[in-house]
Chains A and B, each alone.
Chain A
Amino acid sequence: MITLSAEAFDPYRLLQEFAKSADGAGAVASFVGLVRGEGDAAVSALILEHHPVLTQQAIEQAAQKARQQWDLLDLRIVHRIGHVVVGDPIVLVATAAAHRRAAFESCDMLMDFLKTDVPFWKKELTQHGERWVEPGAKDHRDRSRWG
């Protein structure tokens, strides 16, 4: 299931529900991304913009690619949109499979795609003003591992 959420969400409760409902799973892998407040510019919050149609479509395409590449029993993606404060979850990716490798790798791939291939735009609100953030060379190298 894929959800774009304009409200704060509890990834740990969702993960528990996901693991319980993943019949036959021998492995559940998950990633939770949080708004990081440390650093030289003291970020207080992020604004996450999205596209009204293409964002959901792009996540669905990434999920389809993961399902084609690995034998997954289920997957769950929740991504925040709107105003997200420091410490709050931005993203949950969870994957369930019979064995750990499929769960780990598909979770890793989905996160790399969410970073660079899905129409989100991230603006940091800091003590010194606002700034748009773009993925770095490392994000693109990570993404390129998956073809």
Chain B
Amino acid sequence: MAEIIFYGKFQDIIGPSLELELPKDVASLKALDTYLAGAYPGFSGMLSNARAKIVLNDVIVQTDMAISDGDRIEFLPPFSGG
């Protein structure tokens, strides 16, 4: 089971978090991105949006990485402070 957390506009599309048994073919952030985009219309292209961030186990990751059950993955849309 992976814990997936969403912020900002992604919460409106998917909700604040998901506990997800990762399907066998979802073994990377890119695959998870594609899987979520298929399951939730409106959620797409996280990895192609340079201003969105993915956090894997408390570290912001810049490239695709392997994931497995037990991981904590956070999807952060582009920031908007001030």
Pick out which of these stretches binds chain B: A6-14, A21-29, A117-125: A117-125
- In whole Å, how far is A14's beta carbon from the nearest beta carbon of chain B? 17
Q: What sequence of 0s and 1s flags, for each residue 104-147 of chain A, a beta carbon within 8 Å of any chain B beta carbon? A: 00000001001111111111000000001111000000000000
Hey, which chain A residues are within 8 Å of B78, CB to CB? 116, 134-135
Is B15 interfacial (CB-CB < 8 Å)?
Answer: no
Q: Is the CB of B82 within 8 A of A90?
A: yes
Q: Is the CB of B82 within 8 A of A119?
A: no
Range for the number of chain B residues in contact with chain A: 10 to 19
Cβ-closest chain B residue relative to A131:
B9
Q: Does B41 contact A (CB under 8 A)?
A: no
Which chain B residue has the least Cβ–Cβ distance from A90?
Answer: B82
For window 1-59 of B, CB contacts with A under 8 Å fall at 7-9, 12, 51, 53, 55, 58
A112 — nearest CB in chain B belongs to which residue?
B82
Taken together as a complex, chains A and B put the C-alpha atoms of A119 and B60 apart, in Å, by 11
> Does A54 reach chain B (CB closer than 8 Å)?
yes
A134 touches which of B60, B74, B80 (Cβ 8 Å): B80
Residue of B8, B60, B74, B81 touching A115 (CB-CB under 8 A):
B81
Please measure, in the bound complex, the distance between the C-alpha atom of A111 and the C-alpha atom of B81, giving whole angstroms: 9
- B residues at A contact (CB < 8 Å): 7-9, 12, 51, 53, 55, 58, 60, 74, 76-82
